[in-house]
Structure 1
Amino acid sequence: MGRKRRSATARRRAARLKVFGIGGLVAAVLLVVFWHLVWVYVVVAAAVAGVVAGSWMLWRRDRTARREDRRWRERDAVAAGHRTLAEVDRMTGTEFEDFVAALCRRDGCTRVERVGGAGDNGADIKGVLPDGRTMIVQCKRYAPGNAIPAREIRDLMGALRHHRAEVAVFVTTSRFTRPAQDLCTEHGIWALHRDLLGLWNNGAGLLSFPGINGAGQGDRQHLARWKRTYQK
């Protein structure tokens, strides 16, 4: 019984293939015979089909790229959120730059690239803020007991002009001297010292720091505790 059923199914399939084959042959013959009348329509149909297929492929490729970029940002956000400042202190300079670049991407910055190294002209990272402004970032993974002097802020100001960027960000695992902090406030430098870096790493957005510009390092008592903790 099963063999008869399979045999009947095979015969029906063969019959359909035969009909399709004959139909295709007839269509080919008609196309050849009437080619002088229909060639324009065939060419137009082929062109439209090519445009549709190409557009569909570009759309699929863009969709895939956007999905991969979103996954990349999500992985960076998760990884960055799991790092502690103690782990950051153990990073190399290059690893610290990659870490800061990942935080920038997490917060919606685009075209982020690490350019630190010889000949970087004062910028370790370049990118575009979510609001469209171009930025450069200087990263200094100093021991917490050290402080960023004013000359490094002046170097960043020069790099801002050299790279023709709109925003300059200084990120450090340390703190800023008073003259350096004053320069940041006067010239609108986004200065993220150790405490602000900790907040950034824990989820605060980059765009929440422009109004601080190096402030928030505490009063004299806070500075005394800082020195007791780090300057050993």
Structure 2
Amino acid sequence: MTVPARRVRHLHRDRRFDLRTTTLFFVLLAIILCVMTFLARIAVSIVERRPVWAGLLVVMGIAVVLMSRTRWRRLSAARCARRAAEALEEAAETASDSLGSAHAAGTMPSAAGTGAGEENVTAVLEQPVDCAELDADGFEQAIADLCVRDGCREVEVVGGAGDLGADVTAFTPDGRRVIIQCKRYGDGNKVGSQDMQRFGGTCFTVHGADVAAVVTTSDFTAPALEYAQQCGIVCVNGLELNAWCDGTGSGPWDMAVADTC
């Protein structure tokens, strides 16, 4: 006796629970229920106001049902419900995919935008900077930007608590390590020998500087200049800083080479 093999339904194994799709499914279902409720209220209102018209509509509806009864037999209520649920689920998935695509398109930067940003950064670096108008953090960043503009590599702003005198570190185009201390002082306040000695005690031994420089918006006292000359520290005063900013002067590493010649 041969037993007919029962056709096995293949389940969609790749379908997983998606919160967004499920939420959209129930939203669409709620909208359909609201529309059905609205239509039911309209039907009740028609029955109350125009009973004759309501009766005619009911008779026409019964006639349509009787004429298409063979078709209704083929379509069970469960099948209709399943098809409706599948249609709603497909609509929810489509809406979910559309939202995801729109979000990705809005957050993905374009290559043109990146190029424009790089051009803006280059333009800012090439503009003269009035360091006297900056605060201490802005002054350190401006010095770092000047190093970048002049071709230095691995430029970092490291100033802060525990920096041991190093505010900006970099490597010159020829590979020398530069340690810069930034002193944003007013015209009446000069960099003294004590500041210079504290920097001189760490710039070479701790930070391993090939070029050590103190850059200020003001000037240096005579003892500070004397100590710097003995230790090989480059001193950049306010006038030399302005020349460096507008491109008519040299960076501290070039000034160190000039001093040794």
Normalised by the shorter chain, which TM-score bucket? 0.5 to 0.7
Deviation at 1:70, TM superposition (A): 7.2
Cα 1:134–1:197 shift into 2, 3 Å = same
- Quote the residue 1:52 is aligned against: none
Work out whether residues 211 and 256 of structure 2, in 8 Å CA contact, stay in contact via their aligned partners in 1.
no
Give the equivalent residue in structure 1 for 2:154.
111
Which structure has the higher relative contact order (CA within 8 Å, separation 6+)? 1
Q: Give the deviation of 1:93 after TM superposition.
A: 0.2
Q: 2:137 aligned with 1:94, yes or no?
A: yes
Equivalences for residues 1-232 of structure 1 within 5 A: 71=119, 74-79=122-127, 81=128, 83-84=129-130, 88-160=131-203, 161-203=205-247, 204-206=249-251, 207-210=253-256
1:87-113 Cα shifts (integer Å, max 9, x gaps): x22211000000010011111111000
Residues 211, 132 of structure 1: CA spacing in aligned structure 2 closer, same or farther, 3 A cutoff?
A: closer
CA RMSD of aligned residues (A): 2.3
Query: How many residues matched?
Result: 143
Structure 2: distance between partners of 1:71 and 1:168 = 31
- 1:69 & 1:190 partners in 2: Cα distance? 34
Q: Structure 1 unaligned runs (5+)?
A: 1-66, 214-232
Shift of 1:167: 1.4
Supply the distance in 2 between the matched residues of 1:184 and 1:158 (Cα, whole angstroms): 11
**Which stretch has the larger CA shift, 201-210 or 183-192?**
201-210
Determine which structure has more spread, i.e. the larger CA radius of gyration. 2
Q: TM-score, normalised by structure 1?
A: 0.56
Identity %: 35
Q: Aligned in 2, Cα 1:173/1:212: closer, same or farther, shift over 3 Å?
A: farther
Aligned-residue offset at 1:145: 1.2
Kindly provide the amino acid, as one letter, of the partner of residue 174 in structure 1: S
Q: TM-score, normalised by structure 2?
A: 0.50
- Counterparts of 2:162 and 2:135 in 1: how far apart (Å)? 19
Check the 8 A contact 2:166/2:180 in 1, yes or no: yes
Runs of 4+ in 1 over 3 A off after TM superposition: 67-73
Letter in 2 for 1:112: V
Q: Distance in 1 between matches of 2:116 and 2:158?
A: 23
- 1:195 is paired with a residue of what secondary structure? helix
Are the structure 2 counterparts of residues 76 and 144 from structure 1 closer, same or farther at C-alpha, using a change threshold of 3 Å? same
